[in-house]
Chains A and B, each alone.
Chain A
Amino acid sequence: MERLYKAKNRLGLVFFPAFDWAISPTHPEREERLLYTQDQILEEGLKDIEGIEEYRAYLAPDNEVERVHICVPDVRSRVTEAHLVAAGGAIVAGRKVLEGEVDKAFALVRPPGHHAFRIVHGARGFCTINNEAIMIEHLRRHYKIKKVAIVDTDCHHGDGTQDIYWHDKDTLYISIHQDGRTLYPGTGFLEEFGGPNAYGYNLNLPLPPETGEEGFLYALENFVLPVLEDFKPDLIVNSAGQDNHYSDPITNMRFSAQGYARLNDRLNPHIAVLEGGYSIEGALPYVNVGIILALAGLDYSFVREPDYSPEKVSQSPRITDYIARLCEETLQAWQKREELRARHFQGKDRVTRRRRIYYDTEGLMEYQQETTLICEECAGLSWIDSHTDRGSHILAIFIPRDACARCQKEGHALFEQTETTFYRDGIYLQDRVEDVLLKK
């Protein structure tokens, strides 16, 4: 007589609520954030379900962070232990899947990470380091995986993840978010289509405010899933932000716990990592239970917010039409990515872009000038001249994971030849082939 309920998919949970860490006492990213989620998980008895296993998070060592980020001046000056545990928690989740201990994993960790860029001068959008990217690069280093798809379902555009994988066509980044004209960070449009060597591998779907359950699921079925079918990733990661929920205090969308569960059921990711979501009482407890059940392959049809009503997740016919057109247009762009790449970059040997990056948490402005070599062999050498309005100035050189001999050689030459006098805070070389970060 076995009373325990058995999961169809073995699911690993890494739950790290950091009950002793907050950005500030009343900040949305505070101790209380996952308190009610923990209550709900405990009360539902999810950890008693056979096949659901909880694992302890650990502190990611600095070199795991440096594989993805250049923190100025160094890792320890920019991050707290909480950030390292959140990244470490994601790594544990990913390892459990690739070790075959579980079929899927969900890292319920905080603080989030998808607004963290390659260069880190501080915190932005509650994020300092990018948990998913640190996890993915760890997994790439230790296991045989090549193609990874990140589907970011946070309501905010994951501009940090976009930046990190901008030049990497082995990592497809798809973000579904509230239109940047109406929400932080203000980016995430179709034109942001990837760097010259990975053009088309960065896909943004900016949904209009008041998008309902129907709209999200339409985008999933008619845009995300067809693209994934084309791309054929070895690994699918869901950046599982939960702020599209109808009760979220800082966004304007109309998604529900049922919707999130269905999305994960259909998307069927290997790993989900919690991102944002600040309706900590009305949404997170139910959304997280829904995602856990869906990932474990269990019945989630009884998961529902106590105040749920169909009106709360409905959308206007105008929005329905708009989303259908948006999906169609983006899908077409994906399908024509090679043609578009040729049109944009033929005959060029390098591309330069300038941008300003605002760190809202500390009110800091960064100015970047990025140059990337166009390369048919690899993701291409890139270097960024970065200075801030606080007077910090660095040069960051990036030799990609799969760098060809030329890009590798040129990267090192640039590092050797550039004079430090001009860059008061140093010259950094992130050499992904050698897996080291050099600084002078």
Chain B
Amino acid sequence: MLIGLDMGDTHTDAVLIEGGKVIRHRKSLTDREDPLETIRKALEELLSSCPAEEIQRINLSTTLCTNAVATGQVSPVGLLLEPGPGLNPGLFACGQKNFFLQGYVDHRGKSVFPPNRGEIEEADRELQRAGIKHLAIVGKFSPRNPEHELFIRQCLSPHYEFITLGHRVSGKLNFPRRIYTAYLNSAVYSTYSVFAQAMERFIEEKGWKGPVYVLKADGGTLSLSPSRSLPVETILSGPSASIMGALALTPVVDDALILDIGGTTTDVAFLAEGIPLLEPQGITLGGYPTLVRALLSYPLPIGGDSQIKIEGNRLLIGPLRLGPCRALGGPCPTPTDALIYLNRLELGDKAEAKKAIQELAHHLGLSPEKTATTILREMASFIAEKAWRLLEKINSRPVYTIKELLLPRILKPKKVIAIGGPAFYLQRELEEALGLPVEVPSLAPVANAIGAALSQPTAELTLLADTALGVLTVPEEGLKEKIPSSFTLEQAKERALSLLRQRLSRLAPQSQGAELEVVEAQSFNMVEGFYTIGRNIRVKVQVKPKITPLRGESNGKAI
């Protein structure tokens, strides 16, 4: 039995899957004050009368870290930065205490200027005096050579609760994002750690045997205990859980568009030959752009509960949600009222929905019937227009080789998968507006929890080899090793894959079956004067993204 739980801002959804079918699903309200209790209750109810030993796996997607950042419930963080030359580093000083240290590593990973021990020890004393327990150490180009970050940590006293090292958060280059990612990781460490410990205790008390995984924003999972040192990876996993759910419910091999239509927003995502697209750099949380790998998901400010108003004689839907629909006692008409008026949906006080639509119809000088259908059409065409504009942007992304420019990979969706509460009722209008078949899987309202249940561990790794310097670096693993000048691209790929296999077995011990793949492999001749002095090799490997599709339609029941 596989368990999936997705805790959102409003609802917490949980599903139990057995033999590829959803056996049970449960929706409850999220208690934002006590997320742990919300999860406990949801799991207890879902798993009541289930034999503990049959639980194979529990996957959790939580908004814990996301909300901690949003509400400012984070620990003060001391930032130790080695900025070197470039942008004014003062711009990124997001810590409670910030130190700009001497030393520089260049783009090839050469230590151009060493860090200064005395300066670090001075910072250490000041951090001690301020009582700061959480640090982030980030150097420019540290993924190319982690030694300076390691040296800085080594110079510090041992009194800190947690330290994030920049090179460990990602192999990607982007100093400002690395700073923000490391900062967030240290800032949410305590909150997350308390939660993870309590979760572990709870599972143990219950005697449930399956391992516990947490969801990441890239649609993959990470085992609970290693996630404690990388809590930032668990931010904003909700939209990705929904995308993975849509994929599990409607397996696709073509390019496709995924719409997750909620109450306030509609999330747009794309599949390239069935594989979800990733954010090019990383996700943005609370205004902090990060290097956290994430599925590309673009929120549009329109949903089933969007406020409808009239300006001039034009209907405006969104961008705000002032409350539920009028039929449920909300303050203003919403698209949901239109659905109720048209008898597509039975919900709340139908008379109130009718009144809401009639008021709008009066202002517009249209029949109520026409008004209701116009609302739905406008909503669908707004979504379609924004989705195609987004697609155009994706298809015109810069490329850096002549081959890619001559043979561009153009994304061309052949169908649409729509999930979320209102999806089913809007199918007709969406098909019309998008000009594509729209599929709404039957379990669309709990797709997020299904996605959570079926997601698999993911991990990636970056390898850089400089045969002129005779050095190989793998930042995510903090690894630096010697290589011979004869080291080749093939050897680099092999080494990267074997290191990723090791990393994966540490981060997700039950993942032996995972397939690995090389996603980037480049080798540049390095020339000095007119002689080739070596090769600059760059390899990126990852766990092949995958989701187990559900087998057939479900016979599951809501509880």
Contact = CB atoms under 8 A, between A and B. Distances in A.
A279 to B, nearest CB: 11
A328 interface: no
Given A281-B108, A304-B85, A1 B287 contact: yes
B397 interface: yes
A43 B527 contact: no
B402 A26 contact: no
Nearest to B527: A26
B129 interface: no
Interface in B147-181: 172-177, 180
Contacts of A42: 172-174
Contacts of A301: 88
- Of B94, B289, B405, most buried by chain A (CB within 10 Å of CB) is B405
B524 A31 contact: yes
Contacts of B457: none
Contacts of A36: 107-108
A17 B400 contact: yes
A45 B400 contact: no
B107 A39 contact: yes
Contacts of B141: 39, 43
A56 B287 contact: no
Interface stretch (A2-10, A231-239, A417-425): A2-10
B399 A20 contact: no
B192 interface: no
A43 B140 contact: yes
Interface stretch (A187-195, A285-293, A356-364): A285-293
A35 B536 contact: yes
Contacts of A218: none
Given A43-B174, A302-B85, A249 B529 contact: yes
Given A32-B524, A35-B536, A19 B85 contact: no
Contacts of A82: 402
B131 interface: no
A173 interface: no
B176 A48 contact: yes
A424 B399 CA distance: 42
A3 B108 contact: no
Contact of B402 (A2, A18, A40, A293): A18
A236 to B, nearest CB: 25
A60 to B, nearest CB: 12
A57 B400 CA distance: 9
Interface in A30-63: 30-32, 35-36, 38-40, 42-46, 48, 54-59
Contact of A306 (B106, B399, B402): B106
Given A45-B175, A81-B406, A25 B525 contact: yes
Contacts of A1: 286-287
B91 to A, nearest CB: 6
Nearest to A286: B85
Contacts of A20: 401-403
A81 B403 CA distance: 10
A32 B535 CA distance: 10
Using C-beta atoms within 8 Å of the partner chain, give the interface range for chain B.
35 or more
B101 to A, nearest CB: 14
Given A2-B287, A32-B525, A56 B398 contact: yes
Interface in A235-274: 249
B396 interface: yes
Nearest to B85: A304
Contacts of A40: 86, 107
B177 A45 contact: yes
Contacts of B536: 32, 35
A16 interface: yes
A45 B174 contact: yes
A26 B525 contact: yes
A17 B400 CA distance: 6
B525 A293 contact: no
Given A2-B287, A26-B525, A45 B402 contact: no
A303 interface: yes
B525 A31 contact: yes
Interface in B81-107: 83-89, 91-92, 94, 104, 106-107
Using C-beta atoms within 8 Å of the partner chain, give the interface range for chain A.
35 or more
B194 interface: no
Contacts of B532: 25-26
B163 to A, nearest CB: 22
A289 B107 CA distance: 13
Contacts of A4: 287, 289
A45 B524 contact: no
B525 A306 contact: no
Interface in A301-359: 301-307
B559 interface: no
A21 interface: yes
B106 A3 contact: no
A201 interface: no
Interface string B522-537: 1011110111100010
A299 interface: yes
Nearest to A285: B107
A35 B144 CA distance: 14
Contacts of B530: 26
Contacts of A123: none
B288 interface: yes
A286 B175 CA distance: 15
Contacts of B287: 1-4
A166 interface: no
Given A3-B288, A56-B399, A281-B107, A45 B87 contact: yes
Nearest to A46: B87
B531 to A, nearest CB: 7
Contacts of A302: 83, 85-89
B172 to A, nearest CB: 8
A54 B175 contact: no
A85 B87 contact: no
18 contacts: A2-B287, A3-B94, A3-B176, A3-B289, A4-B289, A14-B398, A18-B400, A19-B522, A20-B402, A30-B525, A32-B524, A44-B86, A45-B177, A56-B398, A298-B87, A306-B85, A306-B112, A306-B113
Return the 3 tightest CB-CB contacts between A and B, nearest first: A45-B176, A306-B112, A304-B85
Interface of A: 1-5, 14-21, 25-26, 28, 30-32, 35-36, 38-40, 42-46, 48, 54-59, 81-82, 85, 249, 281, 285-286, 289, 293, 298-299, 301-307
Interface of B: 83-89, 91-92, 94, 104, 106-108, 112-113, 140-141, 172-177, 180, 281, 286-289, 396-403, 405-406, 522, 524-527, 529-532, 536
Given A3-B287, A25-B527, A302-B87, 7 more contacts: A5-B87, A20-B402, A38-B400, A39-B173, A42-B174, A55-B396, A281-B108
